[in-house]
A and B are shown apart, each in its own frame.
Chain A
Amino acid sequence: MTFDINLVPDGGISWLDASGPDGNIVLSTRVRLARNIDGQRFTVRSSPEDNQVVLQQVERASRASRALHDAPLIRIDHLQPAERQLLHERHLISRDLTGLEADGNVRAGAALLTNGCVGVMVNEEDHVRLQCLKSGFALTEAYSDLERLDAEMGGQLAFAFHEEFGYLTSCPTNAGTGLRASVLIHLPGLVLTKEIAKVLQGLSQVGLTFRGLYGEGSEVVGNFFQLSNQTTLGKSETELLDHLGDMVRKVIEYEQQARHVLQRDAPTVTADKVWRAYGLLKYARSLSFEETMNLLSGVRLGVGLNLISDISVYTLNKLLIFAQPAHLAVREGREIGDPELSTARATYTRQLLEADAAR
């Protein structure tokens, strides 16, 4: 099966448009709810036939929901590795669902239904992972879309629920609400002023955790951090979201203070870093992914500080996604590796920046 990403409404990247609240510092907000079907084994112990049954049930339930009634069903288990990687790079499916980790085998019945900002991953670590991805800092909006979908799906499917432990999940770290909310935030000011370790440690003390750009297990690149709730049980959904929201608001404040300090105490050094990053990004002929992310961080800071005005935040967001390997391969129309990949990345980056500057 050849997969056409254009089947996905908006290509699944409406969250990139930088239109959301605090879009300059917060790229996106994601909320997900983990659910399982009662009487069915979790995917770690299920058979391919079990997974088919789950997929059929979830698809039927989705068709009865407002948000997903006409969403395309993407059979992840029918896709080539590069196509799965593409969806992952686009933040539409988790690493787990791609099956590219560890043994590299995609789970039978692994699927995605997605429409606009909401979607459902089927036969992930849990049978059902409802998700909502929004532009900017938008926890309340993301959860309210999801709550509606959850209620509709829960009316059609028999979710596994326990009086004491709440929603039951394959991993006990997700039990209870099954809710994981995360905010993808850019913190170059705190990194440059060396305050970041203190801030992250503070967050871990108040029950929050952080990861890199691609969620669980991914490393921090380009000063992008995903802040999320650590616990899912013993607090209500609203409490979890409010707590995360309050803390993110504080982190945004700290970041703004740090940027102020940079401009006050080291304006020349800061401007120099920003423009060097811009220069490299614009004129380099070979760029690794990590270097690109770090340069983008510098340019993004420059835009935030009003030093650079001819590049939009949307273009910077777009580069984060489209400068990744599977996306570049799609553009080239074939599989490519280094050193060609780094050349293709530099070419693409240059074109995008030139187009923006010409506007």
Chain B
Amino acid sequence: MQCDECQERPAAIHLTQIVNDSVTTVHLCEQCAADKGVQTGATVAKFPLSDFLASMGKGGGASNQSPVGDDTAECDHCGGTLRDFRESGRLGCPDCYRTFSGHLRDLLRRLHGASQHVGELYMAAVSGGSGDAPGIGELRDQLRRAVESENFELAAELRDRIRVME
């Protein structure tokens, strides 16, 4: 379907309006929609990700794990690479977040304006998910990591737990 405005580009946005006596749907391409001041969720949602994905691996991302520009380094767990991610927009497994943490921190900051989670903490994960309570040494390790990553909410929680055990 073509854009009603420029008659050139494919229509991506469909706005339903009631003009005079009839209900009409206006079909617009993303550019004409933007010119008319209509911003779609899709453009807003897609843009930063695709933009970033395109620039990634071309020396754009600051990574501490892999040499700049190398997008073929594999995640140990799933074998996924940054190139795979760039192509599909999806990561391969939870470990990818650790493997590519440098790149992802940049991306998350661009997407969300922050990379530090401040919502609900998953306590089963904090204790290893096994049901065994972690030792005080392990908690101190986690505390150090939490402080390093500026996760102060988690740090405070861990500090409380260590205090109880001491």
A contact set with B: CB distance below 8 Å: 36, 38-42, 44-45, 125, 147, 150, 154-155, 158-168, 170-173, 175-177, 179, 188, 191-192, 194, 196-198, 200-201, 204, 209-211, 216-217, 219-223, 228, 230-237, 240, 272-273, 276-277, 290-291, 294-295, 297-298
Contacts and interface: CB of A to CB of B under 8 A. Distances in A.
B112 A211 contact: no
Contacts of A216: 42
Contacts of B115: 164-165, 233-234
B92 A166 contact: no
Q: How large is the interface on B (under 10, 10 to 19, 20 to 34, 35 or more residues)?
A: 35 or more
Contacts of B129: 38, 158
Contacts of A173: 45, 49, 111
Contact of B113 (A198, A201, A231): A231
Interface stretch (B2-10, B31-39, B59-67, B132-140): B31-39
A44 B84 CA distance: 11
A172 B91 contact: yes
Contacts of A166: 117, 119
Contact of A155 (B93, B124, B145): B124
Among A150, A277, A294, chain B packs the most CB atoms within 10 A around the CB of A294
Contact of B117 (A176, A209, A223): A176
A125 B90 contact: yes
A295 B115 CA distance: 45
B17 A191 contact: yes
Contacts, number: 187
A237 B120 CA distance: 7
A237 B117 CA distance: 10
Contacts of B149: 163-164
Contact of B44 (A165, A230, A237): A230
Contact of B88 (A44, A237, A298): A44
Nearest to B13: A219
16 contacts: A38-B125, A161-B122, A162-B97, A162-B98, A162-B117, A163-B145, A165-B117, A167-B117, A171-B89, A171-B91, A172-B104, A172-B107, A172-B111, A204-B39, A210-B40, A298-B18
Contacts of A290: 25
Contacts of B21: 272-273, 276
B95 to A, nearest CB: 8
Nearest to B24: A294
A204 B41 contact: yes
Contacts of A38: 94, 125, 129
A233 B114 contact: yes
Most central of A162, A209, A273, A276 by chain B CB within 10 Å: A162
Contact of A170 (B45, B90, B146): B90
A150 B13 CA distance: 36
Contacts of A231: 111-113
A292 to B, nearest CB: 11
A164 B117 contact: yes
B114 to A, nearest CB: 3
Contact of A41 (B40, B77, B118, B150): B77
Contacts of A196: 15
B26 to A, nearest CB: 11
Contacts of B94: 36, 38-40, 42, 160, 162, 168
A192 B39 contact: no
Q: Which of B38, B93, B116, B142 has the most CB of A within 10 A?
A: B93
